[in-house]
Chains A and B, each alone.
Chain A
Amino acid sequence: MTTFPQLIPGLRPASGSSDPAGTEAAIVVTDLHKRYGSFRAVDGVELVIPAGQVFALLGPNGAGKTTTVEILQGFRSRDAGAVRVLGVDPASGGRRWRARIGVVPQSTGCYDDLTVREVVQHFASLYPAPLPAAQVIDMVGLSGKARARAAQLSGGQQRRLDVAVGVVGDPDLIFLDEPTTGLDPVARREAWDLVRFFADRGTTTLLTTHYLEEAQALATEAAVIVAGRVIDHGPVHDIGHAATAPTRISFTLPAGAGRADFAAWPDFSADAPPGIALFVTDRPTATLGRILDWSTRHRLGELADLQVHRPTLEDSYLSLLHAHAASSPEEQR
């Protein structure tokens, strides 16, 4: 891998990485395009994923996440753009490159007639320096099922076996495509612990997920893909910053007050159930001040059900998706 550092100039070193070789970007994607017929599945994606980091790729279904990830894994050809994964173009990635990569695809694999231990041992035997199979089985929480046939596992257990198969080669880079979809909350926490285990070893992880909560729990940086483009990219707690959702203030209208009282207020929203006053505002303190003035003036005392709802990250993310959908409806298939 002597050519690796030279291939990717000027990239940030990973913070807190324990990987001595991992001081460069693990993945660099430049102006990536892929179309199926006239549908642009990937339409100019740009990504830089530092080595040693857990990076989340967020986005709705059909946004181009999986197509992008499959191109990065070498399973799909691209129409245009440059891609470097661990310093190698995945389109020509050989066996040595594949030995450094772990893949946990979106759909659950099927190993029918073999036991859990046999499946993991078999995949381990295909790698040059695998982790001990028993350790990996233990890490995914399947020790009690090691002798069970894979076909007899529950859906969640099969998913964990999938993760074991993906990581047993002790990769430098792991692709996790929606690893926790269909898992119960306990199994999801275990899967998260596993991601953290590899992150602590300095393994780079590209996590594809629908769940912002998952991205927040695991990733340091994230990108949001919508309609084949990266519409936001940065530290995970800043995602959605570009389209901050407004604050919503609401209370139950007291007797004698009507919506007409607020007709002239610019932040008053008619989009509320009967009997509820709702204000949607980017300046919540000012709006709240006016509401309190109004309440004092009319001697209304305590306002019933007064709520100030600050946008969560989830709201910001959703409003980001909505803003994008509104601005480019022709790209929504």
Chain B
Amino acid sequence: MTAPSVRSIPGVVAAGRARAGVELRAAFRNKQALVFTMLFPVLMLVILGSIFSGEIGDTGVDFKQVFIAGIVAAGVMSVAFSGLAISIALERDRGLLRRLGATPMPRSAYFVGKVVRVAVTVVLETAVLLTLAVALFHLPLPSDAGRWVTLAWVLVLGTVCCALLAIAYSSLIPNAAAAAAIVTPPFIALQFISGVFFPFGQLPHWMQTVASFFPLSWMAKGFRSVFLPDSFARTEPTGLWEHGHIALVLGLWTVAMLVVTLLTFRWKSSRVR
């Protein structure tokens, strides 16, 4: 029973791997939660995709395809923001965080596990959405390597940004019962003002302005630049795809939410004794 040396305590790699393993096992074992997280965007895609039709202005682009780009962004946010924020609130309220916080686990390992779980789920979600979009609505897949690269980096940056937003936002959730009520309304409101259900260029000016402060509109714009012809960019408020802007806004949100997390993350709910 001698005191262990620092070196022998599992570090962030070993503990992070252990957390990721447990997270993935739980994610795929809990079919209900998996289906619930994935199903919302899929239903939206199938139902609204079947309703929406018609060319947008004289762009030659069917609104369905604009909508698909938006729903891919909403899918990322559903998994990485809503799903993650609710699961952290549950784990805090049920005392799992308190127990992990009492172990010598490096605290970052918990977030490593969460990010791995979210990343795998986002890839799965996006693959399902794109498969359905191609099969049902004849969405043309990205036509060149550059567009695939854009898809990849918007997906990665959007996921990390939404995940950190979720981790920071979870501190506002007082208990498990309130989680869905506190997480879902802002997510739904953001979808409406960020050009997921309506062409962004046709939204009122003030709505575009408000939406431009949040990540979802930039993610949707990024995916539009992947799936729509370059000529469609002229319907954007600035007439450009603005990849630099997208990366900047998502990056700023990521850093800001990391700082908020470091300052406010609680391992113990005040209700957990």
Hey, which chain B residues are within 8 Å of A70, CB to CB?
A: 268, 273
Residues of chain B within 8 A (CB-CB) of A109 are 94-96, 98-99
Question: Which of B24-32, B124-132, B235-243, B250-258 contacts its partner?
Answer: B24-32
- Interface status of A73 (Cβ within 8 A of chain B): yes
Q: Main secondary structure on chain B at its contact with chain A?
A: loop
Q: Measured between C-beta atoms, what is the minimum distance from A203 to chain B in Å? A: 8
CB of A113 within 8 A of CB of B18, answer no
Which chain A residues have a beta carbon within 8 Å of chain B's beta carbons? Answer: 1, 19-21, 66, 70, 73, 75, 95-96, 98-103, 105-114, 118, 122-123, 125-129, 162, 165-166, 169-170, 172, 177, 201-202
CB–CB B10/A125 < 8 A: yes
Chain B interface residue number, banded: 35 or more
Check B30 against A113 for contact (C-beta < 8 Å): yes
Q: Tell me which residues across on chain A come within 8 A of B268, comparing CB atoms.
A: 70, 75
What's the Cα separation between A123 and B101 when bound, in Å?
11
* Docked CA distance A122–B21 (Å): 9
Q: Can you list 22 residue pairs at the A/B interface with Cβ under 8 Å?
A: A19-B1, A21-B2, A21-B3, A66-B273, A75-B101, A99-B103, A101-B102, A105-B95, A106-B273, A109-B98, A110-B95, A110-B96, A118-B25, A122-B22, A123-B99, A123-B103, A126-B105, A128-B9, A129-B8, A166-B102, A169-B104, A177-B273
A105: contacting residue among B29, B30, B272, CB under 8 A: B272
Counting chain A CB atoms within 10 Å of each CB, the highest count among B4, B106, B272 belongs to B4
Closest chain-B Cβ to A331's Cβ sits at a distance in Å of 21
A137 CB to closest chain B CB (Å) equals: 16
Query: Separation in Å of the B116 CB from the closest CB of chain A?
Result: 15
Rounded to whole Å, the gap between the CB of B263 and the closest CB of chain A is 15
Check if B71 is an interface residue, CB within 8 A of chain A.
no
Q: Tell whether A114 pairs with B25 under 8 Å between CB atoms, given A106-B273, A125-B14, A126-B105.
A: yes
Query: Can you list, as one digit per residue, whether each of B71-109 has a CB less than 8 Å from chain A (1) or not (0)?
Result: 000000000000000000011001110111111111000
Report the separation of the CA atoms of residues A123 and B3 in the bound assembly, to the nearest whole angstrom: 19
